[in-house]
Amino acid sequence: MKLLSSLHWPRSLFARLSVILFIGLASAQALSFWLTMTERDQTMTNVMMGYIEREVTSSVALLDHLPASERAQWLPRLARRSYEFVLGPGVSGGPVDAQLSARVARSISEGIGTNYPLTVNAVPGDNERLQVHLKLTDGTPLTIDMRPMSGAPLSRWLPLMLVLQLAVLLGCCWLAVRLATRPLHELAVAADALGPDLKAARLRESGPSEVARAARAFNAMQERIAMYITERMQILAAISHDLQTPITRMRLRVDMMESESEGAKLRQDLQEMEALVKEGVTYARTLHGATELPCRIDPDALFDSLVCDYVDADQAVSLHGRFDMPLMTRPQALRRIVGNLVDNALKFGGAAEIHIEVLPDGQTTVSVLDRGPGIPADSLEDVFQPFYRLEASRNRQTGGTGLGLAIARQLALAMDATLGLYNRVDGGLEARLTLRNLVKAPPVAVA
């Protein structure tokens, strides 16, 4: 387990399965090759031992029956690739210790040792060379000089075939793993594409039964979520529509009241109710999906216009950094997000700074900074929930509906962007919008 945990496994399932299958199949192939070669060597050795025993026995018998003057002429004829006969005492040496040589010596001893007393010794300096010494019936010394051969040599085409087999194994592993993991990849892509608009393409309900079942379940889940979100939007829209009439009627009655102080209080309550209804409808629409289409814009002009509007209203808003390139994005959604963040910064910090930074990886961050009281670390994500309020630092007396950040987060998701809040080290809050996967708009051709 420690060894497996120390290995640096690839992160993708495709790579992991490919590595496991390839190593397993390659190991099985190597084991099969080793077993085949071992059995082949053993078979060839057994055949060679039987051949040597028969040939040496017949050759020694032939030399024994030949006249002494003719024996030297027959020695080249009786020689073989692995042994030859020498008329003489040969070379002395130690005992045979090589396994193959010992087996050859034993085979020769079993073949001719009963008729001719013999001795066997290894030739010094070569473990795979031995000599068998014996005397013919007339007392002539005869030496059998042997160089045992271990098995048959490999064919030249065998390494090429092994490499070809490994290539076939690798290709089969790649194809099998690709077929197995492609449905997971398609499911992940479909899940990532399932944004707030809930208009992602349906998965193909084909292939193996397990894959088709998962695709049907995902498509059904997507339809149910779309239905639930549509119902929620319709409910909020219906409530908003129905509240318009009593709010208008209450305004008329307030205008007819004689007590101006009480009327002012009621008008303030009615304005808050009206703002709450409008923000609720806006939030419902962002949940239902973004109807704005991306278009080519000059983001620097958009932010300059946004900041100028605040400056004209005597608000302390400043802009730092530039895009310096046209972009394809949703301008109204981008303006709404930054506007909500600036409004919060002005409300709780009195001033807002907008910083634009183009990152090396092509992403762009738009940060809105303030010097307000900040947000507790454990509530930085909770404030994105609809109607969530922080009593400690941002209470109801500051105004608002509690939907501004929720709307900004939903619009950011619809733009394939991320929005996060971070407390600044020296006090205040940073709202950071990261625009990713933005496509640079092509330059306009000038005639």
Quick check: is 182 in a domain?
no
DSSP string of 208-267, one letter each residue? SHHHHHHHHHHHHHHHHHHHHHHHHHHHHHHHHHHHHHHHHHHHHHHHT-S-HHHHHHHH
Phi-psi domain of 279 (left: phi exceeds 0; alpha: psi -120 through 50; beta: other): alpha
User: Phi and psi for 222 in degrees, rounded to 5?
Assistant: -60, -40
The whole domain housing 31 covers 13-146
Among candidate residues 408, 285, 300, 392, the one with its CA nearest the CA of residue 344: 408
Same domain flag for 89 and 112: yes
Chosen domain end from 102, 124, 146? 146
The answer on 384 and 274 residing in a single domain is: no
Number of domains composing the chain: 3
Structure tokens at 97: 């210790």
Task: Write the DSSP assignment of 347-365 as a string of letters.
Answer: HHHS-EEEEEEE-TTS-EE
The reply to whether 265 and 354 lie within a common domain is no
CB 330 within 8 A of CB 414: yes
Domain end marker among 128, 146, 164: 146
Q: Which of 266, 286, 306 is the last residue of a domain?
A: 286
**Residue tagged 């490999």 (tokens):** 154
Contact 397, 403 (CB under 8 A): no
Question: Domain containing 413 — which CATH number?
Answer: 3.30.565.10
Query: Could you report the per-residue pLDDT of 108-158, keeping only the tens digit for each?
Result: 776 676 677 777 787 777 567 777 888 888 888 888 887 776 655 667 777
Residue 183 lies in a domain: no
Q: What is the CATH number of the domain that holds 75?
A: 3.30.450
Same domain, 216 and 351: no
**Do 365 and 323 share a structural domain?**
yes
Taking the complete model, does pTM exceed 0.75, yes or no?
no
One domain, residues 314 and 265: no
Which pLDDT score, from 0 to 100, does residue 396 have?
43
CA dist., res. 420 & res. 384, Å (int): 9
Tell me, what's the pLDDT at 441?
47
Q: What is the dihedral of CA 346, 338, 362, 374, to 10 degrees?
A: 40
Q: What is the pLDDT of residue 431?
A: 92
> Do 300 and 355 belong to one domain?
yes
Question: What stretch of H or E contains 343?
Answer: helix 331-349
Query: Is residue 372 within 8 Å of 364, Cβ to Cβ?
Result: no
Can you give the pLDDT at residue 152?
57
- 3-state class (DSSP) for residue 196: coil
Does residue 161 form part of some domain?
A: no
Q: Say if residues 360 and 333 touch (Cβ distance below 8 Å).
A: no
Which residues, other chains included, contact 49 with Cβ-Cβ below 8 Å and sequence gap of 6+? Answer: 103, 104, 107
Whether 67 and 133 share a structural domain: yes
Question: Are 398 and 433 part of one and the same domain?
Answer: yes
The per-residue pLDDT for 7 is 57
Q: Which residues of the chain have pLDDT under 50?
A: 1-5, 392-397, 399, 441, 443-447
Question: What CATH number is associated with residue 273?
Answer: 1.10.287.130
Question: Tell me, what's the pLDDT at 352?
Answer: 93
Q: Is residue 322 located within the same domain as residue 391?
A: yes
Residues 161, 162, 164, 167, Cα dihedral to 10°: 170
Token pair belonging to 354 = 């907008």
